[in-house]
Structure 1
């Protein structure tokens, strides 16, 4: 359940409203298209995982099949996206805490960081503890979302969907923005590939988990998005930080809103737990291959976890969360830095096809690569300055590594 646990995080509890604001009822197309894109990339991940079971996930595939330079770019952007995700998920926790307590943003974010501290400690103790916590959190949030869908469908009005309306942006720009927002909610199936060497029978388990996760989440997300645009007037919730909880309040009263708010918190905490679990293993795998500072090439002598990376990532995420107080900006940065390793993994799947038999149709990695590059161009347009700064930092890091200065 690790893949579902990471995919179903803050995104589905926040992004359906933001996507509707961009493209209105047409946002349903963005949710469907984003799901199809993630199926394409998920099948590439499954193919790579079946034939190259190695810790580090997408980074390891790019490093082995595309070479050191592209492997570094894949790993660095993958790693950057993940530790920024930790910051974004902590902001999402702060938002949903606002449903219960009228505290300031700073106070709620401090509580979110405390939750992140506890989860970092859990994963510091090992994958078994982290995985058990993830399974419990995933079950709770899926039940909450199922309740939201069932309750919302009782108020569904087909004419809202059959007579579509646009959002605040021009249609094409709105659809592209909605696609990126939906992609934040979808991404995460690749996380199953990161601790592969710690998973029993990974060659069979990991590909199956990826495919099941992506298809299951796509069905769930389309139902939630359908309720958001078909059961309420989404414009009434334009200023909400907890849109699904507020909508559930209108469906079932105060108790219904509380249930979804709790489910939202559990969902976000589950995703935070999963990304903490994965982020440190990326930097460890890269350092083991001498493509990241030696500091990260360390396992705790007792728990055999990359403890240095775990604690450093947590500290970096807390600093970023307090410095950049904008959840949507953080989410768009994560999407941008996730699209790069997605594209490189698609190219790696192409390269794999040239040397061994392929389990998936030949056109899939080509379609995934083309879609990734197109989306990446638009994401760069939306977040150009921070992307240039972070990619520049990566180039500097690679130069220092090649000179063996770190």
Structure 2
């Protein structure tokens, strides 16, 4: 059952024979990582993190960032060895076999597709609230701006039209080309970094130490399945880092990937971790970040109806935890209302870059799984002009857009985290296996002290997983069970490795797909 390990040389040969166009440099890769990481987490989830951890939000960002950094070092070492699309899925295939690789690829849907839908809904909130209502005086009807179910079980609408439209627009951009997407992303990254830098400059001088006391009102650990406390907040805030691994999915489209992929991974993550801690310190220090406690001394659940009722009371309306646009709210409270509105505009403009990178990662995972035969191979077709996997990009984008339009995805950050944590842990295991099995393999980047870094990543991921809300924890095994049914019903019998095909590109495909200059026709060993 675990014996179908794809040979490392076959993985690299497959990518060389039917590769994606290499157009990205190290700086663009780092911007890709920053573009996805700095987004919904810091703009939307800051209030939810403060409700769980209080001023300990600063510590929550540090905990989540530290776990991501040790995972990124494992990613960087393997990505330098295997500079191909597929990320954690491909790495697992080369070390632990097809079945576990399938489970990783399947779990990554929870990371990328669910998160892309959630970010689309977050963008819709900024568009309808800040742009249409505040600046244009237009009130979009609820039936056009919300799915059938809203947050907290409140009555919803018919369709979230802005979320649907932005997901489809980003999908179209991704189909046009990776280089074009990268430049678009670079512009949006500049806007986000400038906006958050202005926030830090304006709030840190007004920070007071008294607002950090008590630092951990809900404690360090909130208890199993509660999702509160500093660690519970870290499990949610982890969503703010989701996406840096999308850098590794771009390895096949990167120039000199052995050098540039580690730069993109570690560089983007280190930058974002430091930035997040400064922003959270400014937010809490300027207006305070104490949670609203329930009668049992435990914070009301973030996003719950109970918390919404408390936030409607006059004494809580200026609390950080009651804001749907936390950073803009902080600036308004401290007297920078105009800058706060501008920051809201920056979030509205920049969030599409997060959707772009999440969709990018999802489509590249599907592309490689299709190239391996585990999904229908028509999904792996590359457009002759755009040089992108246009079929799988279009299908994924439509599914994400429909989910954003109709499903209650506002609370799905924890669910997205569950799939991500599983993938991160598997990459750390794969790094250790490769070091043991192939110690002499050329490594242009070696993770320092892998004997410590990889186990730390595994334990850290497990640690955050058990501190997710219980409902989010049970989604992963349930989703995995569905994946196993799909694997045994279709993927296992169509797998190229299972059929003894070393080179996965079938000769008959040349009749179905136009020749692409510079890329050899597909063949079979």
TM-score normalised by structure 1 residue count: 0.94
Label 1:346 to 1:114 Cα distance change in 2 as closer, same or farther (>3 A).
Answer: same
| Pair 1:208 & 2:238 matched | no
For residues 389 and 92 of structure 1, the distance between their equivalents in structure 2, rounded to whole angstroms, comes to: 26
- Which residue does 2:283 correspond to in 1? 228
Give the stretch that moved more between structures: 127-136 or 288-297: 288-297
The unaligned stretches of length 5 or more in structure 2 are 1-30, 134-138, 146-159, 290-315, 441-445, 496-525
Give the stretch that moved more between structures: 280-289 or 306-315: 306-315
Deviations 1:14-71 (A, max 9, x none): 2221111012112222111111111111111111111111111221111112211111
Map 1:6-405 onto structure 2 (within 5 A): 6-97=36-127, 98-100=129-131, 101=133, 102-104=139-141, 106-108=143-145, 109-164=160-215, 166-167=217-218, 171-172=222-223, 173-234=228-289, 236-327=319-410, 329-354=411-436, 355-356=438-439, 358-361=446-449, 362-379=451-468, 381-400=470-489, 401-404=491-494
Label 1:287 to 1:80 Cα distance change in 2 as closer, same or farther (>3 A).
Answer: farther
For residues 26 and 333 of structure 1, the distance between their equivalents in structure 2, rounded to whole angstroms, comes to: 23
Label 1:372 to 1:217 Cα distance change in 2 as closer, same or farther (>3 A).
Answer: same
Alpha carbon RMSD of aligned pairs, Å? 2.2
> Which one has a bigger Cα radius of gyration?
2
TM-score normalised by structure 2 residue count: 0.73
How far residue 74 of structure 1 moved from its aligned partner, in angstroms, is 1.2
Higher helix fraction: Structure 1 or Structure 2? Answer: 1
Label 1:55 to 1:169 Cα distance change in 2 as closer, same or farther (>3 A).
Answer: closer
Query: Is the Cα contact below 8 Å between 2:216 and 2:230 reproduced in 1?
Result: no
For residues 313 and 251 of structure 1, the distance between their equivalents in structure 2, rounded to whole angstroms, comes to: 42
For residues 196 and 112 of structure 1, the distance between their equivalents in structure 2, rounded to whole angstroms, comes to: 29
Give the stretch that moved more between structures: 310-319 or 361-370: 310-319
For residues 180 and 217 of structure 1, the distance between their equivalents in structure 2, rounded to whole angstroms, comes to: 17
- Which residue does 2:10 correspond to in 1? none
For residues 384 and 278 of structure 1, the distance between their equivalents in structure 2, rounded to whole angstroms, comes to: 23
For residues 255 and 162 of structure 1, the distance between their equivalents in structure 2, rounded to whole angstroms, comes to: 29
Query: Is the Cα contact below 8 Å between 2:421 and 2:461 reproduced in 1?
Result: yes
Give the stretch that moved more between structures: 219-228 or 295-304: 295-304
For residues 214 and 165 of structure 1, the distance between their equivalents in structure 2, rounded to whole angstroms, comes to: 25
Deviations 1:265-291 (A, max 9, x none): 233111111112221111001111122
Give the stretch that moved more between structures: 263-272 or 318-327: 318-327
Q: Kindly report structure 1 stretches of 4+ aligned residues shifted beyond 6 Å.
A: none
How far residue 118 of structure 1 moved from its aligned partner, in angstroms, is 1.5
Query: Is the Cα contact below 8 Å between 1:145 and 1:263 reproduced in 2?
Result: no
How far residue 86 of structure 1 moved from its aligned partner, in angstroms, is 1.3
| 1:4 equivalent among 6, 9, 34 | 34
For residues 118 and 258 of structure 2, the distance between their equivalents in structure 1, rounded to whole angstroms, comes to: 32
Deviations 1:256-314 (A, max 9, x none): 12111012123311111111222111100111112223342222232221112112112
Deviations 1:367-393 (A, max 9, x none): 111211232334373324543442222
For residues 25 and 279 of structure 1, the distance between their equivalents in structure 2, rounded to whole angstroms, comes to: 34
For residue 403 of structure 1, give the secondary structure of its aligned residue in structure 2. helix
The unaligned stretches of length 5 or more in structure 1 are none
Aligned positions, number: 405
For residue 393 of structure 2, give the secondary structure of its aligned residue in structure 1. helix
Query: Is the Cα contact below 8 Å between 2:36 and 2:358 reproduced in 1?
Result: yes
Query: Is the Cα contact below 8 Å between 2:120 and 2:167 reproduced in 1?
Result: yes
